[in-house]
Amino acid sequence: MSIPVIDIFAGPGGLGEGFSSLFHGGERIFKTVLSIEMEKYAHETLTFRSFYRQFHPDEVPEEYYQVLRGELSKDELFGMEEFQEEVASAEKEAKQAKLGFDDDSVNPDLVDEWIEEALEREDEEDWILLGGPPCQAYSIVGRSRNQRTILDADEDDRVDLYKHYLRIIEAHRPAVFVMENVKGLLSARSKSNSIFDKILEDLKAPGYRIFSLVKEPRNNLFDDPEFEPKDFVIRCEEYGIPQTRHRVILLGIREDFFQGQPGILEKKPSVPLKAVIDDLPRLRSGLSRQKNVWENWGKKIEEITLNGVMESMDSEVVRLVKTTVKNLTNPHKNSGADFVENRSDYTPLKYEQNWFYDERIGGACNHESRGHMGSDLHRYLFASSYAKVKGRSPKMEDFPEKLLPAHKNVQEAIKNKKFADRFRVQLEDKPSKTITSHISKDGHYYIHPDPSQCRSLTVREAARIQTFPDNYFFCGPRTSQYVQVGNAVPPLLANDIANIVHRLFRN
């Protein structure tokens, strides 16, 4: 019998995917019985993935893959008579609802009904609660932009959203909970105290012990475990995730379920960016403000050698730029599409191949590049060439004057080094910088390391960095897909956490 999992503030389902992907003897150890997400397209993604999980991975119908390849729509698949039982189960599991304090929020009594029905259906008393209450209010960057160091729940109801998580713990008492949030939570303060200390105190009150997943307690095993706030920060790049993502993750264990120290994550070698994106089909960027065809794109790239831009460039960078321009070739699928088939000589990536790769897809879905202005194409070409030569992404002061953006604060960025890396190349031989929802706004912070592609990362590349399997399809417009990926917990990390939780249940 699978152990029930309920996932609230679920986003596109990164935490739930990690738990649901843990198998023993060919069966899922954990089963997501309820997930709640307010955003429309993230909810669609959850529902579609839930449909996938109604089947054993070896028995997923071909029609699912036809949707990934664009040969069939999701609505057409969900309308097929032979899959109505699985569709009904998926739609019953994935709920679109807002947990909050305003009039648009779902009634807590209805949430309780959903939980009771999901758990009664599984006839299981001990279950797991997952979730990451929205974190914008705790974000260091967000507080900096708003010039706030003290958070007020009366002014920003996101500060107290964790209380919905707490209410479910108090009312339904899961055996274990896993709660994720941004690192900025540790330094956030209300008018009276540390928000993190208050959250810990509240979560312990219903009879739970809170553990770090990366540090042993600093005291006797059988006392209430003691940790420093920083002990709860997981530096993802130290645990086999190809990005420098640092997040607070709490593991709560109900007192009567406690059997001793649960264990911690095992450190793993650093994973460079190229290990997870190098096998994906090559693309060029799109071209905005003019027809997006190869001839126009190539001519626009070539202009960098004609307008005097390179006069102030480093000589090694100039050589690479010239070589790149001279050898430009149009990728077989131009700037990509919702689905891009693999070339006949395709070889899948080696890193965690069993986790990512699914030969039934035959290519990459959600793999379409953005359109960029011609001036940005030149900046991307310079930046990626500079990074390849110098081993670091250029700062504003490294850009030729003719490539500097026409923003009024550019000189301030150069002088005061404030947001001086607004054009950031993700280095191929190092883990990527953190994938966040900001990737949906523009690609300047997420420039592909290959100068010949001259573009920002696609949704699929961002999803690979976040460790979503290739058969995980993101629904909705591309902007929403980026937001979903950026807001998620890396499923591969969640899978390692699931292993720790499974040991608790075995005990």
| 318-344 average pLDDT score | 94
> In this structure, are strands 246-254 and 233-235 parallel, antiparallel, or unpaired?
antiparallel
What was the pLDDT predicted at 429?
97
List the alpha helices (DSSP H) in 2-61.
14-20, 40-53
> Token pair of 182, please?
């941004």
Give a yes or no: residue 83 inside a domain: no
More confident residue, 187 or 241: 241
**Cβ neighbourhood burial of 472 (10 Å; 0-12, 13-18, 19+):** buried
Q: Check whether 139 has a pLDDT greater than 50.
A: no
Whether residue 302 has pLDDT greater than 70: yes
Domain assignment of residue 87, yes or no: no
CATH number at residue 157: 3.40.50.150
In a domain, residue 161? The reply is: yes
Same domain, residue pair 399 and 313 = yes
Q: Tell me what the mean pLDDT of segment 387-393 comes to.
A: 96
Look at residue 444 and tell me whether its pLDDT is greater than 60.
Answer: yes
Share of the chain above pLDDT 90, in %: 75
Residue 165 sits in the same domain as residue 103: yes
In this structure, are 495 and 482 located in the same domain? Answer: no
363 bridge partner residues = 341
Q: Check residues 204 and 442 and name the one with the higher pLDDT.
A: 204
> Which of 134-148, 414-428, 435-449, 462-476 is least confident?
134-148
Instruction: Looking at the structure, tell me whether residues 288 and 141 fall in a common domain.
Output: no
Are 173 and 314 members of one domain?
no
202: in domain: yes
- CA gap 175, 3 in Å, rounded: 11
Q: Where would I find the beta strands (DSSP E) of 128-244?
A: 128-131, 176-182, 208-211, 233-235
**pLDDT > 50? residue 157:** no
Confidence of residue 124 (pLDDT cuts 50, 70, 90): low
Same domain? 13 vs 113: yes
Q: Could you tell me the pLDDT band of residue 153, with boundaries at 50, 70 and 90? A: very low
pLDDT on residue 415: 60
CA distance 20 to 22: 6
- Averaged pLDDT, 442-466: 95
pTM: 0.93
Note whether 293 and 239 are same-domain residues: no
Q: Per the domain annotation, does 60 fall within a domain?
A: no
Region 500-506 average pLDDT: 94
Average pLDDT over residues 291-301: 94
In a domain, 467, yes or no: yes
**One domain for residues 314 and 329:** yes
Model confidence at 354: pLDDT above 60 = yes
183-198 tens-digit pLDDT? 988 887 777 678 899 8
Residues with Cβ within 8 Å of 337's Cβ and at least 6 positions away in sequence, in order, are: 70, 367, 368
Structure confidence by residue, pLDDT tens digits, 17-73: 999 999 999 999 999 999 999 999 999 999 999 999 999 999 999 999 999 999 999
Q: Which residues, at least 6 apart from 62, have a Cβ–Cβ distance to it below 8 Å?
A: 360
Q: Calculate mean pLDDT across residues 4-8.
A: 97
Q: Please state the rounded mean pLDDT for residues 493-498.
A: 98
The reported pLDDT for the residue numbered 1 is 81
Taking the C-alpha atoms of residue 501 and residue 30, their distance in angstroms, rounded to an integer, is 10
Residue 506: alpha-carbon gap to chain centroid:
30
Say what the pLDDT of residue 260 is: 85
303 and 207 housed in the same domain: no
Amino acid at residue number 197: D
Three-class SS state of 91: helix
Rounded to an integer, the average pLDDT of 346-354 is: 95
Same domain, 291 and 382: yes
In a shared domain, residues 392 and 462: yes
Alpha-carbon distance 424 to 456, whole Å?
Answer: 10
Encoded amino acid at 363, one letter: G
Note whether residue 438 is domain-resident.
Answer: yes
364-386 pLDDT, tens digit per residue, is 999 999 999 988 999 999 999 99
Amino acid at 247: R
Dig out the tokens for 298 from the structure: 């190539």
Q: Total domain count for the chain?
A: 2
pLDDT value at residue 151: 43
pLDDT tens profile 400-418: 988 988 765 666 555 656 5
Residue with tokens 């029609």, as numbered in its chain:
63
Residue 152 has pLDDT above 80, yes or no: no
Residue 453 lies in a domain: yes
- Mean pLDDT, the chain, rounded, equals 90
Structure tokens at 9: 């503030």
pLDDT of 251 reads 98
Domain that holds residue 475: 274-486
Whether residues 173 and 258 share a domain: the answer is yes
